[in-house]
Chain A
């Protein structure tokens, strides 16, 4: 029985793609130290008379951390089964967030650790990108721009339309952003999720 399991494991391993340093292109997903990673940059370093190396900048997709690692040219890494899938955010049950692939109705759930910062931009029914590793959520990325209603902010000073200075406003998802003084509770605003900055008011 143990033997049979071992054989199955080997067959599965055999199916994984193997990439040599020459194939390390930006965006390629590989396994490094048992974590899924994405190649950012790959520089070929070779003394005229000496060993060739590849100096690779790589992002750990679990931690988001960027590291540099050198390989002897010709070494290889196993590919990582990592895909980005557009999904609809369904709801938060208090313990898990739930997402669904619109075409197949297939559902995925993740805890807050994986949702991370993206959580504060997620509104029920909105779409977002879920990164799957071996078919399990690895990271969530909100759209670059989201439209959210202001649920709390101080009344603005009348006549001020410049937006200079601004004030904090709490949005329906709980996120807090700085908005111009003239923007009021109940208004719909557009926010850039990459910077967390107010972009404009949105007419419904």
Chain B
């Protein structure tokens, strides 16, 4: 008999998920952060060349429009912030095409929140409070905070802020990762992704939350650049047991700079012959009208559940992973 109708996760995990969601909602209710919902289906989508989106068609005869499933609720939430919502959070689905593996499912659950008036260290305090609370039964070790430059340097001896092709190549060869030389070439950001994924990340957060802040400016994404050091972006990433859990920024509020970053990403998309999209003009307009100074973070709740339950695969915490969806 066909067994595929069954959930991939246990009933115990289904209950743990419900409990986790209730705890998160209580955490934000106590802090007067407003829960919001934004569309999953939109006219535009993130331009990040590293994120593949799902495209669908909206048919309302005779109208036919291309719509996108959201890779993150970020743009819509920023429009709410610009409209004066105050601090907000959302628990919702995000969609990323082509991502499937032990830690990836193309449809996953994301917690994203924005704190108006918070800088990045303040947001990191709140992240630690939330995570430590959710893991209160599992006695996590003390939360660690370390800069990208320090953590990268300590595991590799390399400076991530200054690209030295010969040093990076020598390190890769030394670690029996010489394929990195062909894959990464002269692309500094790609080298950082490669070395960080292989040689740094696996060591981060040994039974503890590890927050890595101060990412190199070439990986700034939607974060502000540090006021005192233009080599560093106000970006933080969260890790527990070597698993990437989330990503936060002191948010870029400059419409012009945002528009430039979009153009750059769109150019890369064109150059790499990736699916085309347009930049989100409504987000740019919202930034022009004024996004309050704020910090925001997104956390993958399925991976959080994996860590809370000691599960080896994301399939173990999803009711129906993509193979059975």
Binding site for B on A (CB under 8 A): 22, 43-53, 55, 68-73
Known pairs A43-B101, A53-B194, A69-B179; list 13 more (Cβ under 8 Å). Answer: A22-B100, A44-B100, A44-B102, A46-B99, A47-B244, A49-B221, A49-B247, A51-B190, A51-B194, A55-B198, A70-B179, A70-B180, A71-B179
Given A47-B196, A47-B197, A70-B198, answer yes or no on A52-B99 (Cβ-Cβ < 8 Å): yes
Q: Which residues of B contact A45 (CB under 8 A)?
A: 101, 197-198
Q: What is the CA–CA distance of A46 and B247 in the complex, to the nearest angstrom? A: 13
Contact of B101 among A44, A71, A72 (CB under 8 A): A44
B136 part of interface (Cβ distance < 8 Å): no
Closest 10 CB pairs of A and B: A44-B101, A50-B193, A51-B193, A48-B247, A49-B221, A45-B197, A72-B183, A51-B190, A70-B179, A50-B50
Which residues of B are at the interface with A, using a C-beta cutoff of 8 A?
A: 48, 50, 98-104, 176-177, 179-180, 183, 189-190, 193-194, 196-198, 201, 219, 221, 237, 244, 246-247, 298, 300
Find chain B residues with CB under 8 A from A47 CB: 193, 196-197, 201, 244
A residues within 8 A CB of B100?
Answer: 22, 44
Distance in Å from the Cβ of B163 to the closest Cβ of chain A? 16
A-chain residues with CB within 8 Å of residue B219 when the two chains form the complex: 49-50
Min distance, Cβ A54 to any Cβ of chain B, angstroms? 8
B50 x A52 contact (CB < 8 A) = yes
Tally of A-B residue pairs with Cβ under 8 A? 61
Please indicate the chain B residues that have their CB under 8 angstroms from the CB of A22 in the complex: 98, 100
Q: Which of A44, A51, A53, A70 contacts B103 (CB 8 A)?
A: A44
Docked complex Cα distance between A69 and B190 (Å): 17
CA distance A138 to B31 in the complex (A): 67
A49-B247, A70-B179 known; A44-B99 Cβ under 8 A? yes
Q: What CA separation (Å) do A48 and B243 show in the bound complex?
A: 11
Q: Give bound CA distance, A52 to B98, whole Å.
A: 10
Decide: B221 and A53 in contact? CB cutoff 8 A.
no
B103: A residues at CB distance < 8 A: 44
- Which residues from chain A contact B176 at a C-beta distance below 8 Å? 68
Greatest chain B CB density within 10 A among A47, A49, A52 is at A49
Shortest beta-carbon distance from B281 to chain A in Å: 22
B102 & A49 in contact (Cβ 8 Å cutoff)? no
A31 shortest CB reach to chain B, Å:
15
On whether the beta carbons of B102 and A43 are closer than 8 Å, the reply is: yes
Tell me how far the C-beta of B235 lies from the nearest C-beta in chain A, rounded to whole angstroms.
9
Q: Write out the residue numbers on chain A whose beta carbons fall within 8 Å of the beta carbon of B189.
A: 50
Bound CA span A124–B27, Å: 74
Q: Nearest chain B CB to A30's CB is how many angstroms away?
A: 15
What are 24 contact pairs spanning A and B, CB under 8 A? A22-B98, A43-B101, A43-B102, A44-B101, A44-B102, A44-B104, A45-B197, A46-B50, A46-B101, A47-B193, A47-B197, A48-B244, A48-B300, A49-B48, A49-B221, A50-B193, A51-B50, A53-B193, A68-B176, A70-B180, A70-B183, A70-B194, A72-B183, A73-B98
The chain A residue sitting closest to B219, CB to CB, is A49
Most buried by A among B176, B177, B183, B247: B183
